Amino acid sequence: MTRRKIRYGIISTASIAPRFAQAMKCTDNGKVIAVSSRNIDRARKFAEENDIPNYYGDYNVILQDPEIDAVYLPLVNSLHYEFARKALEVGRHVVMEKPFVLYPWQGEELRKLSEEKGLFIAEAVKTLFLPVHLELKKRIDSGMYGKIQLMEFRQSYAGGGYAAGWNRMREYGGGALYGNEAYFFSMAEMYGGKIQVLNGSATYGDSDAEDQFALTTVMENDILATCAVSRKVQFENNGMEIWLDKAHISVPDYWKAREAYIYQNGELVKTLSYPCNYELMYELQHFNECIDKGLTESPVIPVSASIRHAEFCRKLYDEWEK
Q: Which amino acid is residue 249, in one-letter code?
A: I
φ, ψ (nearest 5 deg) of residue 139: -65, -45
Residues 173, 285: Cα–Cα separation, whole Å: 28
Break the chain into its structural domains and give their ranges: 6-124+280-301, 127-277
Find the helix or strand (DSSP H, E) in which 21 lies. Answer: helix 17-24
Residues 57, 36: Cα–Cα separation, whole Å: 6
What is the reported pLDDT for 4? Answer: 84
CATH number of 6-124+280-301: 3.40.50.720
Least confident of 31-45, 152-166, 290-304: 152-166
Other Cβ atoms closer than 10 A to 163? 17
Mean pLDDT of 276-294: 97
φ, ψ (nearest 5 deg) of residue 176: -65, -35
pLDDT (tens digit, 9 = 90+) per residue, 126-168? 999 999 999 999 999 999 999 999 999 999 987 666 666 877 7
Residues 95, 91: Cα–Cα separation, whole Å: 13
Q: Which amino acid is residue 207, in one-letter code?
A: S
Residues 204, 182: Cα–Cα separation, whole Å: 20
Residues 94, 107: Cα–Cα separation, whole Å: 13
What is the reported pLDDT for 126? Answer: 97
Q: What percent of the chain has pLDDT over 70?
A: 97
For residue 246, CA distances in Å to 55, 84, 132, 254, 292 come to: 54, 45, 19, 21, 42
Query: How would you classify residue 205: left for phi > 0, otherwise alpha for psi between -120 and 50, otherwise beta?
Result: left
φ, ψ (nearest 5 deg) of residue 249: -115, 130
CATH number of 127-277: 3.30.360.10
Residues 61, 78: Cα–Cα separation, whole Å: 20
For residue 60, CA distances in Å to 13, 37, 39, 153, 304 come to: 14, 10, 13, 38, 28
Q: Above 50 in pLDDT, residue 310? A: yes
Strand 239-244 and strand 248-252: the pairing is: antiparallel
Mean pLDDT of 298-314: 97
Find the helix or strand (DSSP H, E) in which 6 lies. Answer: strand 6-11
- pTM equals 0.95
Q: Above 90 in pLDDT, residue 10? A: yes
Tell me the pLDDT band of 1, cut-offs 50, 70 and 90: very low
Q: Above 50 in pLDDT, residue 181? A: yes
Q: Which residues contact 242 (CB under 8 A, 6 or more apart)?
A: 136, 140, 148, 150, 151, 191, 248, 249, 251
